[in-house]
Amino acid sequence: MKTLTIKSACFGAAMAIFLGSAWAEDLSQIHAGSETEFMTADGLAAWVIELNPGLAGLEAAAEAAAFRIDPAGSLDDPMLSYAAAPLTAGTDGGLDQKVDFSQKFPWPGTLAAREAAARYEAVAADRDVDALRLRVVAQAKAAYAEWYFVHAALEIHHATKALLEDLIATAETRYAAGRALKQDVLQAEIESRDLDNRLLRLLRLKATVQARINAMLNRVPDAELPLADPALVNSGLPSLERLQELAVAQHPELAMLDARISASTSRITLAEKALYPDFQVGVGYNELWSNSDQRPTFGVAINLPLDRGKRRADLSRAQADKRSAEWSLVERRANLLADLAQARAEVSEAQDTIANYQDELVPLAAEYLEAALADYQSGDGAFLNVITAEQRKLETELTSARVRADYVRRLAALERWTGGDIDPAHTAQSGEQQ
């Protein structure tokens, strides 16, 4: 356990140092000018984890905690003392000297309790790293969701802009032939200018999201990023009971608090051992004694824990710390399961909403626009109906893209509260980008 913790922490620190220096060059080589490479939610999360400074700092702290285990379970250094009687120098017997060697032994069980407390603290530090990693992954996937939405919205904008240009050309042709009103052309022009304003807002959002992602990657704000891969939707979702079981069994925040409870138990044992004396065993040789039989010495010493109030206060404090950790675990578990239930409900809602938009609303909006345009071209419909249908189609497609982005973000939150990837049996991907 100790060796594995130390090795993993050292490996993580080495990877962070190496990747930190080579990241910008590697990313540009992989994605610059590439038409086949796309940013995925998992890919961005992996990149961010490799370079996150907060995560690297916690990994170093966990490494330090792992190195405290062996010293905690070790005896104090032995003591070697030397003394001489300087006034005996030059006498017939020569310089008289005294040498003592002693070793302190704590009450039985003390060293084991110290080592156990340090080991559990190291486990807690490791789980703290895992908890931060979950948080970073969720943040990275949420950033990917926004990056996906920006690109989807820009595609929708360009398609709508092209449609409006065709409508303007149609309206101008019909107006020149005396079959339409001047207001038809003006309505189309106004809608086109409004689309230009929408584009400005989208470009601002793109720059904001790009800067946020690059900050996660320790890169300059305007560094190029690959296009977002289409956001796919999982076809199923584990039951709430199954997700709760996974969270209780694997969530690092709960494991961290559980380790701290165990560490508090070990500290209670230490406080109890402090009520008993420590031993010190020593051997020596003293030439100050004239009789050679009296010169070798052996002795045992103990401390006298007479101040019982101080030690019992330490014991009561350790017991109170354990109760505090236990109640923290109870509270965190309750809040975690509540967050998990909310996240699952939001993911389920997003799945149903995506299906509704994909199967019903988006096709209906397209059909509505086709019907309005056909009526206008035949002279049976007003141009305002075409503009209204175009606006409805635009809003429907943008909302569909937003719902898909929200689904990615909500699924990332669900994975965070579950403690990692959810049951692979329920993660079959379905659906294409609309």
The string of pLDDT tens digits covering residues 103-131 is: 999 999 999 999 999 999 999 999 999 99
Q: What is the pLDDT of residue 29?
A: 38
Q: pLDDT at residue 18 above 80? A: no
Q: What is the pLDDT of residue 366?
A: 93
Q: Give Cα separations from 377 to 22, 29, 167, 185, 308 (angstroms).
A: 59, 51, 10, 14, 98
Q: What is the pLDDT of residue 383?
A: 81
Q: What is the pLDDT of residue 16?
A: 39
What are the residues facing 99 on neighbouring strands? 82, 285
d(CA 232, CA 250): 26
Does 86 map to a domain?
no
Q: What is the pLDDT of residue 393?
A: 92
Q: pLDDT at residue 168 above 50? A: yes
Tokens of 149: 């939405």
The string of pLDDT tens digits covering residues 340-380 is: 999 999 999 999 999 999 999 999 999 999 999 888 877 77
Does 377 map to a domain?
yes
Q: What is the pLDDT of residue 192?
A: 85
End-to-end CA distance of the chain: 49
Q: What is the pLDDT of residue 118?
A: 94
User: From its phi and psi, is residue 109 left (phi > 0), alpha (psi between -120 and 50) or beta?
Assistant: left
Q: pLDDT at residue 399 above 60? A: yes
Nearest CA to 131 out of 262, 259, 254 is that of 254
Burial category of 177 from C-beta neighbours within 10 Å (exposed 0-12, middle 13-18, buried 19 and up): exposed
The string of pLDDT tens digits covering residues 145-167 is: 999 999 999 999 999 988 888 88
Does 15 map to a domain?
yes
Mean pLDDT of 74-91: 87
Q: What is the pLDDT of residue 9?
A: 41
Tokens of 214: 């690059």
- Grade residue 423 by pLDDT with cuts at 50, 70 and 90: low
Percent of the chain with pLDDT over 70: 88
Q: What is the pLDDT of residue 177?
A: 74
Tokens of 89: 């120098």
What are the residues facing 85 on neighbouring strands? 96
Q: Which one has a higher pLDDT value, 288 or 69?
A: 69
Does 97 map to a domain?
no
Mean pLDDT of 373-396: 86
Q: What is the pLDDT of residue 5?
A: 42
Does 93 map to a domain?
no
- Grade residue 20 by pLDDT with cuts at 50, 70 and 90: very low
Q: How many domains does the chain have?
A: 1
Q: pLDDT at residue 55 above 80? A: yes
Mean of pLDDT over the chain: 85
Task: Provide the H-helix boundaries in 67-181.
Answer: 69-72, 110-176
Burial category of 92 from C-beta neighbours within 10 Å (exposed 0-12, middle 13-18, buried 19 and up): exposed
Does 95 map to a domain?
no
Does 300 map to a domain?
no
d(CA 303, CA 297): 20
Mean pLDDT of 282-286: 92
Q: pLDDT at residue 424 above 50? A: no
What one-character DSSP code corresponds to residue 228? Answer: B
Mean pLDDT of 308-327: 93
Tokens of 369: 């626009």
CATH number at residue 421: 1.20.1600.10
d(CA 428, CA 105): 60
Q: What is the pLDDT of residue 316?
A: 95
d(CA 259, CA 265): 10
**Which of 143-157, 160-174, 212-226, 325-339 bottoms out in mean pLDDT, i.e. has the lowest?**
160-174
Q: What is the pLDDT of residue 332?
A: 95
Does 141 map to a domain?
yes
Residue 231 belongs to what domain range? 2-74+108-275+308-430
d(CA 65, CA 73): 13
Q: pLDDT at residue 201 above 90? A: yes
- Grade residue 70 by pLDDT with cuts at 50, 70 and 90: very high
